[in-house]
């Protein structure tokens, strides 16, 4: 039997749910992923990830009495004052699930709920691409676009409903509609679905260039085109794909340069499926950002890709649980 203290960690994201176990050092030792089914409601998803966590504990021979705390990473807005998920744009019903109370009832330990991007930032700052930097800004480009800022190893928590919402900075007031209700947000062009939608918008504006594009040929002109295919066509030299990617990244660069000017992070870590899809994307983003950063800050930061990738949020949830339990990280 394993006698050291343990932490449970959860993640609910755009496409998956994850349960993980960490030991004294807060590093995840086991993780299990449940793919969400289209049409699933929050209560069902929560039940299935809870079952997975119980199986993990049983497999590892860990008793409930050995758990010290639980971290829960939520892919949406979290109300910190009530420790509850508030709004999720990917799956209905989370606002009605009191995950902290249910987990506390089941495992008898404190539960800490936090937004997934903040936890990914925390994980990258401790064990990933932000290690050894005093301040880390993390941005995810995936199903959505979100951000988190870690200073001296702690999440910078400023508002009851969060902060650092880089995905909803308006960078093009005439741009596409965003799921938040505004128009021209970073997320509306630079998330995976946003890039696909931006491709459609630009195809309507530049029909002849679109019709000559490999993207139109491959899909017989059908929309939407997936972000992965847009990136691969851009890498292969397609001119229309280049227009889509460069214009999207120019808008993202405006928001990221402003973020660097405001927060002066030592390290900017780019994660998410789209964000980690291409070294060329990261390199172009870096080139576009630099001229918009205040000259005297330009040498102070570096832009790097996530190293923890898929595991970042769950790892961050374990670190938060450990920090709140007063466990020093090794
Ligand atoms: Zn928005």
Instruction: Name the class of domain 6-122+310-324.
Output: alpha beta
Distance of CA 135 from the midpoint of ligand 1 (Å): 26
Give percent of the chain with pLDDT exceeding 90: 88
Distance of CA 177 from the midpoint of ligand 1 (Å): 8
pLDDT at 328 over 80: no
Distance of CA 170 from the midpoint of ligand 1 (Å): 7
Distance of CA 103 from the midpoint of ligand 1 (Å): 31
Distance of CA 167 from the midpoint of ligand 1 (Å): 6
Per-residue confidence (pLDDT) for residue 130, from 0 to 100: 98
Distance of CA 176 from the midpoint of ligand 1 (Å): 10
**First-last CA distance in the chain:** 23
Q: Is 204 exposed, middle or buried (0-12, 13-18, 19+ CB in 10 A)?
A: exposed
What average pLDDT does range 210-217 have in this prediction? 94
What average pLDDT does range 281-293 have in this prediction? 98
Q: Pairing state of beta strands 84-87 and 77-79?
A: antiparallel
pLDDT at 67 over 80: yes
Q: What is the pLDDT of residues 153-189, one digit of tens each?
A: 999 999 999 999 999 999 999 999 999 999 999 999 9
What average pLDDT does range 22-50 have in this prediction? 91
Distance of CA 207 from the midpoint of ligand 1 (Å): 27
What is the distance of C-alpha 185 from the center of its chain?
16
pLDDT at 212 over 90: yes
Per-residue confidence (pLDDT) for residue 189, from 0 to 100: 97
* Domain residue ranges of the chain, discontinuous segments joined by +: 6-122+310-324, 130-306
Cα distance between residue 31 and residue 3, in whole Å = 19
CATH topology (fold) of 130-306: Nucleotidyltransferase; domain 5 (3.30.420)
Q: What is the mean pLDDT of the chain?
A: 95
Four-point Cα dihedral 178, 179, 180, 183, nearest 10: 20
What average pLDDT does range 64-78 have in this prediction? 95
Distance of CA 81 from the midpoint of ligand 1 (Å): 24
Is 130-306 the same fold as 6-122+310-324?
yes
CB 53 within 8 A of CB 14: no
Distance of CA 142 from the midpoint of ligand 1 (Å): 14
Q: What is the pLDDT of residues 95-106, one digit of tens each?
A: 899 999 999 999
Distance of CA 179 from the midpoint of ligand 1 (Å): 6
Per-residue confidence (pLDDT) for residue 39, from 0 to 100: 80
pLDDT-derived band at 40, boundaries 50, 70, 90: confident
Question: In this structure, which residues have their CB less than 5 angstroms from ion ligand 1?
Answer: 168, 178, 180, 182, 185
Q: Is 249 helix (H, G, I), strand (E, B) or coil?
A: helix
Per-residue confidence (pLDDT) for residue 13, from 0 to 100: 80
Q: What is the pTM of this model?
A: 0.96
pLDDT at 1 over 60: no
pLDDT-derived band at 330, boundaries 50, 70, 90: low
Cα distance between residue 82 and residue 42, in whole Å = 18
């Amino acid at each position: 039997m394993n006698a050291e203290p343990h932490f449970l960690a959860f993640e609910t994201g755009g496409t998956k749910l994850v349960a993980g176990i960490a030991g004294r050092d807060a590093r995840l030792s086991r993780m299990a992923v449940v793919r969400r089914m289209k049409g699933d409601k929050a209560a069902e998803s929560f039940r299935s990830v809870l079952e997975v966590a119980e199986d993990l504990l049983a497999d590892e021979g860990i008793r409930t009495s050995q758990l010290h705390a639980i971290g829960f990473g939520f892919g949406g807005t979290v109300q910190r004052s009530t420790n509850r998920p508030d709004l999720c744009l990917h799956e209905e019903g989370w606002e009605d699930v009191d995950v902290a109370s249910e987990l506390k009832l089941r495992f008898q330990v404190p539960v800490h709920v936090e937004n997934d991007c903040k936890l990914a930032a925390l994980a990258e700052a401790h064990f990933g691409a932000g290690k050894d930097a005093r301040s880390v800004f993390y941005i995810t480009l995936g199903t959505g676009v979100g951000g988190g800022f870690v200073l001296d190893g702690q999440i910078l928590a400023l508002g009851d409903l969060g902060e650092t919402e880089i995905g909803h900075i308006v960078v093009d007031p005439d741009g596409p509609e965003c799921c938040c209700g505004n128009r021209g947000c970073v997320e509306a062009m630079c998330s995976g679905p946003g890039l696909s939608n931006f491709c459609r918008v630009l195809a309507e504006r530049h029909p002849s260039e679109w019709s000559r594009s490999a993207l139109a040929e491959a899909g017989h002109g059908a929309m939407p085109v997936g972000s992965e295919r847009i990136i691969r066509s851009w890498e292969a030299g397609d001119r229309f794909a280049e227009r889509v990617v460069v214009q999207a990244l120019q808008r993202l660069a405006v928001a990221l340069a402003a973020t660097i000017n405001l927060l002066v992070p030592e390290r900017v870590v780019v994660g998410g499926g789209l964000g980690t899809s291409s070294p060329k994307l990261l390199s172009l983003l870096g080139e576009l950002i630099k001229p918009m950063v205040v000259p005297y800050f330009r040498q102070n930061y570096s832009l790097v890709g996530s190293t923890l990738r898929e595991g970042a949020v769950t790892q961050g949830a374990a670190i938060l649980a450990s920090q709140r339990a007063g466990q020093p990280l090794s």
